[in-house]
Amino acid sequence: MSRRERVVNTLQAGQAQLIAAFEALDDSATFGTHTWERPGGGGGTARVLEGGHILERAGINFSAIHGDAVPPSLAASHPGSEGRPYFATGLSMVFHPHNPYAPAFHANYRYFEVGHGEESDIWWFGGGADMTPNYPFAEDAVHFHRTLKAQCDRHSVGDYGTLKETCDRYFYIKHRGEMRGVGGIFFDELSPVGVGDFETDFAFVGDGVRTIEDAYLPILVRRKDTPYGERERRWQLMRRGRYVEFNLVYDRGTTFGLQTGGHIEAILMSMPPYAHWAFDYQPEAGSKEAEILTFLQPRDWADDKLSTVR
Amino acid sequence: MSRRERVVNTLQAGQAQLIAAFEALDDSATFGTHTWERPGGGGGTARVLEGGHILERAGINFSAIHGDAVPPSLAASHPGSEGRPYFATGLSMVFHPHNPYAPAFHANYRYFEVGHGEESDIWWFGGGADMTPNYPFAEDAVHFHRTLKAQCDRHSVGDYGTLKETCDRYFYIKHRGEMRGVGGIFFDELSPVGVGDFETDFAFVGDGVRTIEDAYLPILVRRKDTPYGERERRWQLMRRGRYVEFNLVYDRGTTFGLQTGGHIEAILMSMPPYAHWAFDYQPEAGSKEAEILTFLQPRDWADDKLSTVR
């Protein structure tokens, strides 16, 4: 089997496994199947759930596309790739739970290959996973980060500290001066092009896909039935407004997709089902809502000594 | 009185007049007052109404700022302005009505001056007004465009056909292949720098500010009490999702403001109160909702012969 086939199999298996796990949790709704084709070559399958009791909107999109010539923006940063055929595959997902106390989750793992990986030095893996709570639960952030750190610790590539820092730098809403969430791990190229070993990198990414369930699902289970009212719902919708702002203004996958004209509905699958904006809203001093921005400041959530933190 | 003072007076008077008119229409809510200062010089007053019976969210923001050196992005396109002090003032407004049958409205009029207008050839007016319906009412689009055309016809500058075309080109959601609304008029520079006569241009812009009420208010009055249900509300929120996409991805005022760090809440005053995204939503064939994209295709709404159009 070729490299690209192996990656595709792993990502598709991950998609199926995650769908099974989340459908088992929430039997009120199923993931619909939307296949799409890319005029230039390839396509994908977006699996989308809307209106579930636990997940208000969730999408898990697999894609595998190819083209005759590496897009100019990528060719510019990858010498030797210009004008050559390419292949790109990815698994991308966003979960927007119904309960305001349950955090949103996003992950994306992708593989890019110029020519054929077997014959070319130009290939790389990108990806990561991050979480966006509306309320400050330290135990959730600790569980999430420790699970991702354990994943990193199982491999010789993927230094948790570095990937966490990259994630914190990336998920920053500059115009608000706010972090989008509690971060996680993120990497543009797991090993820089020409340096990495395929098997080593692939093992890390495959583990990353399989770790998603452990990292996020227990948190969703813990928060999904917490009683809440109008106030918490409204706050959730305002925080989702920030999510929209980040994705449409900064997210590279989204802005690249909108500019180059990918499958729009799959690209904007990340949008929350509902969002709310209110002028200069300031949560009540001393409230849980007021704590969130401080809570989201980058910190070493995986630190063993952190168990005393609130 | 200096040119800039005269423009400021006209814009501020327009702000006050519009607030009076809309508060008279909807006595359930008043426009709050939020003044803000710009660290580099100047500031503004955002007047914002939220949760009214007729207007769900509306903002009318006046600003007048100045600086020691024209921002590089503007200096690049305006030879002779580089490194010189500047003054910019504007009146910007967005109305998001509660009733899904009532269109949203946006207008913006602004004046930019390098050095002092009296001593400098470098000054220009920008602006325009446009409307975004969720449902296809030809009589609303006709009234709106005819009112703006009448404004244009009262002046020797501001050719309606040109300004309408510029507006149609601008309010286009490229990644959706959709128009944002039925357009209106729009101009970056009413008269190109160095060519215009201040009094002539100023008269057009002052008239533009005064025309807003005539152009939009009767439509709001006509639609504000139309009975509607969940279906129309949901459709409205989805169309507002498109509004969010346009403003965060394409709107030059918004993207420039986010990049340069203006007063964020005033910049994002244009966001709708609530927005909704659903995967690949297609309105029922033959429904009013299904007609909207065709309805929004640019057409000559001000044409006298259009009275037979549905």
For B274, the closest of A46, A269, A276 (CB atoms) is: A276
Instruction: Report whether pLDDT(B27) > 90.
Output: no
Catalytic residues of B, by residue number, are 106
Interface-testing mutation among B95, B173, B269, B280, with chain A (most A C-beta atoms within 10 A) = B280
| Three-class secondary structure assignment of A118-182 | CCCCCEEEEEEEEEECCCCCHHHHHHHHHHHHHHHHCCCCCCHHHHHHHHHHHCEECCCCEECCC
Coil vs helix vs strand at B295? helix
The distance of B268 to chain A (nearest Cα, Å) reads 8
A245 chain-B contacts, CB cut-off 8 A: 248, 268
CATH no. for residue A40? 3.40.1500.10
CA–CA distance, A50 with A57 (Å, rounded to integer): 4
**How much is the pLDDT for A304?**
72
Residue A308: pLDDT band (50, 70, 90) is: very low
Instruction: Report whether pLDDT(A208) > 80.
Output: yes
Mean pLDDT of A46-72: 95
Instruction: Report whether pLDDT(A221) > 60.
Output: yes
- Residue A173 near chain B (CB below 8 Å): no
**How much is the pLDDT for A206?**
98
Mean pLDDT of B123-138: 97
- Residue B274 near chain A (CB below 8 Å): yes
Mean pLDDT of B214-222: 98
Whole domain around residue B35: which residue ranges?
A: 3-308
A258 chain-B contacts, CB cut-off 8 A: 174-175, 249
For B279, the closest of A257, A265, A274 (CB atoms) is: A265
Mean pLDDT of A83-112: 97
Beta-carbon contacts of residue B64 (< 8 Å; ≥ 6 apart): B4, B8, B42, B43, B44, B87, B88, B89
A253 chain-B contacts, CB cut-off 8 A: none
CA–CA distance, B220 with A241 (Å, rounded to integer): 27
**How much is the pLDDT for A310?**
44
Instruction: Report whether pLDDT(B212) > 50.
Output: yes
For chain A, what is the domain count?
1
Partners of B171 in beta bridges: none
Tell me whether residues A34 and B59 touch, CB distance under 8 A. Answer: no
Interface-testing mutation among B277, B281, B282, B293, with chain A (most A C-beta atoms within 10 A) = B277
Contact of A167 with A296, CB cutoff 8 Å: no
Tell me whether residues A271 and B32 touch, CB distance under 8 A. Answer: no
Q: What mean pLDDT, rounded, does chain B reach?
A: 94
- Residue B234 near chain A (CB below 8 Å): no
Beta-carbon contacts of residue B108 (< 8 Å; ≥ 6 apart): B90, B91, B92, B93, B126, B127, B128, B129, B253
H runs (alpha helix) in B224-263: 230-249, 252-260
Percent of chain B whose pLDDT exceeds 90: 87
Instruction: Report whether pLDDT(B272) > 80.
Output: yes
A279 chain-B contacts, CB cut-off 8 A: 32, 34, 46, 48, 50, 57, 59, 265, 269
Q: What does residue A68 show for φ and ψ, rounded to 5 degrees?
A: -80, -25
Instruction: Report whether pLDDT(B308) > 50.
Output: no
Instruction: Give catalytic status of residue A106 as yes or no.
Output: yes
pLDDT digits (tens, 9 = 90+) for A224-269: 999 999 999 999 999 999 999 999 999 998 988 888 777 899 999 9
Residue B306: pLDDT band (50, 70, 90) is: low
Q: Which one has a higher pLDDT value, B41 or B6?
A: B6
On whether the pTM is more than 0.90, the answer is: yes
pLDDT digits (tens, 9 = 90+) for B140-159: 999 999 999 999 999 999 99
How does DSSP assign A248-306, residue by residue?
HHT-HHHHHHHHHT--HHHHGGGS-SEEE--TT--PPTTSHHHHHHHHTS---TT-GGG
CA–CA distance, B267 with B193 (Å, rounded to integer): 26
Instruction: Report whether pLDDT(A307) > 70.
Output: no
Structure-block tokens of residue B299: 């057409």
Nearest Cα residue in chain B from A259: B175
Tell me whether residues A277 and B278 touch, CB distance under 8 A. Answer: no
Interface-testing mutation among A57, A175, A258, with chain B (most B C-beta atoms within 10 A) = A175
Residue B39: pLDDT band (50, 70, 90) is: confident
